[in-house]
Amino acid sequence: MWTGLQLSSTAEVNPLHLRRVGFIAGLIAASAIAWGIDIVLSVSLRQAAIYSGFLLLTLVLGLTLFNSRKKLPFLPLARASTWLQIHIYAGFFCAFIFLLHVRFSPPHGPLETLLALVFCVVILSGFFGIFISRFFPSRMALSGEPLIYERIPAYRREIQENVEALIRRAETETQSSTLADFYLSQLRPFFHRLPSALEALGGMDRRSGRLLKELTALNRYLNDAEKAIAAEMRDWIQTTQNLHYQYAAQRLLKLWLFVHIPFTYSLILIALVHAALALIYAGKV
């Protein structure tokens, strides 16, 4: 190219889509193969459950490695994104093998039931995790400026201080208490109280919408100076709404791991006991 700008006119295929298709294909293939093998094994009067059990245990342990990789970012292990992809699809595979292992019916023994429950907790929390990890980011991006979770307390304080300064200014500069009254009656709780996750995430934060309307309604009582301040206040309300959303969403995105990770270890422990018992009583391959 004349300008040395290297441009290729190849039509872009979204690499992520390609990857997803590939993985899903792989997942289906693997599941099919596993199912086939399971059938063949049971036909051959072997204890298919022992094989699927071993596979399941290996998978679970393998999936746990993802966590350890996160703790070793300095080693030239594969990219975390690759790990996650494998983690996700291996997880789905795991779920399928689990169904094979329990013969698509709830287990009978108490220990087995406990194990199955813990397994479901882990797997389902995992599915939930994938869902929210794909669902919230884009919405957070739309909601407003991205905020760092750890800084949110500081931001809230900043907002509160700014808003109060603003109100004080309104009082001093305009000698009218319209905005101040409105602030005390309506805005203050809004700025000072964090909404519940449901409030914040469940569609739009109704409070802020209402407040904005009421603020507009106030315009008739305001002079230009106050209008300017009101406009600024408007910004703060929207900012706060965004802050509430960011806070709730990020909190959720962090909290789901509080279920997923602890119960994984619990799962491994019970699984090991279960495996040992199975080997002792049900015999070998």
Partner 1 sequence: MRRLLDHLSFKKNRYARPTQEWICGHTYEGRPCPLGPDARGGCRHSGECFPARSGDRWLCTRREADGGKCTEGPLPSGACSHPIPPCQPKPALRRTRGKMTWLVVALTLSILLLTLAGMSRRTWISPGELSVHHATSAKECEDCHTPEKSKPSSFTHLAVIKKRADEDSHLCLKCHSLGQQPFSPHGAAAPALAAFTKHAATEKSQPPLLLRAGTAAASVSRMKSGELACSTCHQEHHGKDFNIAHLSETQCQVCHRVQFASLAKGHPEFANYPYLRRTRIYFDHATHIQDHFPAAKDKQPTSCQACHVPAVSGGKMIVNSFEQACAVCHTDNISSSTPVAFFRIPGIDVVSLARAGISIGQWPKEADDKLTPFMELLLGTDISGGKVLAVLKGKELGDLRSADPEQLAAASRLAWAVKEFLYDFEVEGQPFLIKRLQEGLPPGQSGSQLTALTGGIPRAGFIAARKEWMPDLMREVSDYRRGVLPPVPPVPKAPPKPAPTPSPAEKPKPPPSDADILGGAESSKESSPPPKPGAPPPTDDILGGGGAEPAKTAAPPPKPGAPPPTDDILGGGAAEPAKAAAPPPPNPAPPPPTRGSRRKDKNRGPAPEAAPKSGEPAKPTPEATDETTWMATGWFRAKDGFTLSYRPSGHGDPFLAAWFNAAGVVRSSGSGIMQTLAAPSGPGSCAKCHTVDQVPNAGMRVNWTASRPEANAHPFTKFSHTTHLSLMTEKGCQTCHVLNPSSKFATFFQPTDATDPTTVNHDPTHFESNFAPLPKMQCGSCHTPRIAGDSCLRCHNYHTGTFATDMSQVARIHPIAAAQEKK
Partner 2 sequence: MAEEPVRISKPKRWDIPFGKDMTEADVEMLMQQAPFNTIDASKFPASAPLWGILLNDAQIRRFENGDIIVREGDYGNSAFFIINGAVQVILDSLPPRMLGRRESQKKNFFQSLAQLWQRPPHPEVRDYVQRKAAGTATAEVNARTSGATATADVEVRTSGRKTNEVSIFLQDVPRILSENHTARLEEGEMFGEIAALGRSPRTATVIADGRTQLLEIRWQGLREIRRYAPEWKARLDQLYRERSLDKHLRATEFLNKLAPEAFKQVFDNTRFETYGDFEWQSTYHSGGDDAPQGRLAKEPLIFREGDYPDGIVLIRSGFARVSRKYNHGERTLRYLGRGQFIGLEEIASSWKSDEVVPLQNTLRAIGYVDLLVIPTAIVQEHILPQFSAAEIQHLQIQPSEEPALDLEQEITRKLGPDMLEFLVDNRTINGTATMLIDLDRCTRCDDCVRACASTHNNNPRFIRHGREMNAIMVTNACMHCVDPVCMIGCPTGAIHRESFQGQVVINDDTCIGCATCANSCPYDNIQMVDTRDRSGFFILDEVARTPIMKATKCDLCIDQLGGPACARACPHDALIRIDMRDVDRLATFINR
Give the separation between CA 125 and CA 210, rounded to whole angstroms.
35
5 binds, among partner 2, partner 1, none (CB under 5 to 8 A by kind): partner 2
* Residue 115 neighbours by CB under 8 Å, 6+ apart: 107, 267, 270, 271, 274
153 binds partner 1 (CB under 8 A): yes
| The one among 107, 169, 188, 253 contacting partner 1 by CB under 8 A | 107
In the chain, the largest separation of any two C-alpha atoms, in whole Å, equals 92
Contact 208, 237 (CB under 8 A): yes
14 binds, among partner 2, partner 1, none (CB under 5 to 8 A by kind): partner 2
Q: Which of 62, 106, 109, 137 binds partner 2 (CB under 8 A)?
A: 137
Q: 2, 74, 104, 281: which one contacts partner 1 (CB under 8 A)?
A: 281
Give the nearer residue to partner 2 in terms of CB position, either 137 or 209.
Answer: 137
In angstroms, give the least distance from the CB of 277 to partner 1. Answer: 5
Cβ-based nearer residue to partner 2, 74 or 281:
74
Does position 79 interact with partner 2 (CB under 8 A)? The reply is: yes
Residue 284 · residue 132 · CB < 8 Å: no
How far apart CA 84 and CA 82 sit, in angstroms, is: 5
Residue from 13, 45, 75, 198 binding partner 1 (CB under 8 A): 45
Q: Which of 8, 110, 138, 142 binds partner 1 (CB under 8 A)?
A: 110
Count, residues near partner 2 per rule CB under 8 A = 41
By CB under 8 A, the residues from 80 to 99 that bind partner 2 are 80-81, 83-84
- Inter-CA distances, 153 with 27, 203, 244, 247, Å: 43, 23, 11, 10
Which of 18/33 has CB closer to partner 2? Answer: 18
CA angle 70, 78, 7 (to 5 degrees): 120
The owner of tokens 């991205």 is 146
Using CA atoms, how far apart are residues 283 and 281, in angstroms rounded to an integer?
A: 5
Separation of alpha carbons 137 and 133, rounded Å:
7
Provide the minimum distance between the beta carbon of 156 and partner 2 in the complex, in angstroms, as a whole number: 17
Comparison of 131 and 258: residue with beta carbon closer to partner 1? 258
CA angle 50, 124, 57 (to 5 degrees): 25
Name which position in 74, 108, 172, 203 contacts partner 2 (CB under 8 A): 74
Nearest Cα residue to 266 out of 119, 91, 59: 119
Contacts with partner 1, residue ranges (CB under 8 A): 39-47, 107-112, 114, 144-148, 150-151, 153-159, 235-236, 239, 243, 254, 257-258, 261-263, 265-266, 269-270, 273, 276-284
